[in-house]
Amino acid sequence: MANKALYVVVAVVGIGAASGAAWWFQQGGAKAPSTTATTAAPGAGPAAPGRGGTPGVEVVRVKTLKLQDDAQAVGTLRSRQSVTLKPEVSARVSRIAFADGAQVKAGQLLVQLDDTLQRAELSQAQAQLSIARANLKRNQELVAQNFVAQRVVDESQANLQVAEAQVALADARLQRMRITAPFAGTLGLRSINLGQYVAVGDGLVNLEDTSVLTVDFRLPERYQTRLAPGQPVQVQLDALPGRTFEAKVLAVDPLLDANGRSISVRAVMPPTPGNVLRPGMFARVLTIFSVDDAALVVPEEALVPQGGKQFVFRLQAQGEGDARKLLSQRVEVELGVRRGAEVQIVKGLALDDTVVVAGQQRLQRDGTAVRVLDMSRPAPGAPAAPTRTGG
- Assess if residue 48 is contained within a domain: no
Q: For the domain that residue 146 is a member of, what is the CATH number? A: 1.10.287
Note whether 270 and 326 are same-domain residues: no
Q: For the domain that residue 195 is a member of, what is the CATH number? A: 2.40.50.100
pTM more than 0.85: no
- Assess if residue 29 is contained within a domain: no
**DSSP 8-state assignment for residue 45:** S
User: pLDDT tens-digit profile of 162-176?
Assistant: 999 999 999 999 999
Note whether 156 and 243 are same-domain residues: no
- Assess if residue 23 is contained within a domain: no
Note whether 122 and 144 are same-domain residues: yes
Note whether 136 and 215 are same-domain residues: no
Note whether 139 and 157 are same-domain residues: yes
Q: Closest Cα to residue 163, out of 200, 134, 120, 199?
A: 134
Per-residue pLDDT of the chain (391 residues; tens, 9 = 90+): 445 554 544 455 556 555 555 554 454 444 433 333 333 333 333 333 444 578 888 999 999 988 888 899 999 999 999 999 999 999 999 999 999 999 999 999 999 999 999 999 999 999 999 999 999 999 998 988 888 899 989 999 999 999 999 999 999 999 999 999 999 999 999 999 999 999 999 999 999 999 999 999 999 999 999 999 999 999 999 999 999 999 999 999 999 888 888 999 999 999 888 889 999 999 999 998 888 888 999 999 999 998 889 999 999 888 877 778 888 889 999 998 888 889 999 999 999 899 999 988 888 788 888 888 854 544 444 444 433 333 3
Note whether 95 and 195 are same-domain residues: yes
Question: What does the pLDDT read at residue 30?
Answer: 41
Work out the number of other CB atoms within 10 angstroms of the CB of residue 75.
23
Q: For residue 371, report the phi and psi dihedrals to the nearest 5 degrees.
A: -130, 145
Q: For the domain that residue 363 is a member of, what is the CATH number? A: 2.40.420.20
**Distance between CA atoms of 299 and 342, rounded to whole angstroms?**
5
Q: Identify the burial level of 26 via C-beta atoms within 10 angstroms of its C-beta, where 0-12 means exposed, 13-18 middle and 19 or more buried.
A: exposed
- Assess if residue 364 is contained within a domain: yes
Note whether 120 and 166 are same-domain residues: yes
Q: For residue 322, report the phi and psi dihedrals to the nearest 5 degrees.
A: -65, -20
- Assess if residue 326 is contained within a domain: yes
Q: Closest Cα to residue 336, out of 294, 377, 285?
A: 294
Question: What does the pLDDT read at residue 52?
Answer: 53
Question: What does the pLDDT read at residue 49?
Answer: 40
- Assess if residue 44 is contained within a domain: no
Note whether 166 and 186 are same-domain residues: no
- Assess if residue 96 is contained within a domain: yes
* Residue 97 lies in domain: 87-111+179-203
Note whether 357 and 270 are same-domain residues: no
Number of domains in the chain: 4
**Distance between CA atoms of 123 and 118, rounded to whole angstroms?**
9
Contact 129, 159 (CB under 8 A): no
User: pLDDT tens-digit profile of 226-281?
Assistant: 999 999 999 999 999 999 999 999 999 999 888 888 999 999 999 888 889 999 99
Last residue of a domain, one of 292, 312, 342: 292
Question: What does the pLDDT read at residue 376?
Answer: 52
Note whether 288 and 301 are same-domain residues: no
Note whether 280 and 314 are same-domain residues: no
Contact 180, 112 (CB under 8 A): no
Question: What does the pLDDT read at residue 386?
Answer: 39
Note whether 216 and 287 are same-domain residues: yes
Question: What does the pLDDT read at residue 272?
Answer: 87
Q: For the domain that residue 241 is a member of, what is the CATH number? A: 2.40.30.170
Handedness of CA 219, 224, 229, 231 (dihedral sign): negative
Question: What does the pLDDT read at residue 385?
Answer: 40
**Distance between CA atoms of 115 and 35, rounded to whole angstroms?**
127
Distance of alpha carbon 216 from its chain centroid, rounded? 13
Contact 298, 68 (CB under 8 A): no
- Assess if residue 50 is contained within a domain: no
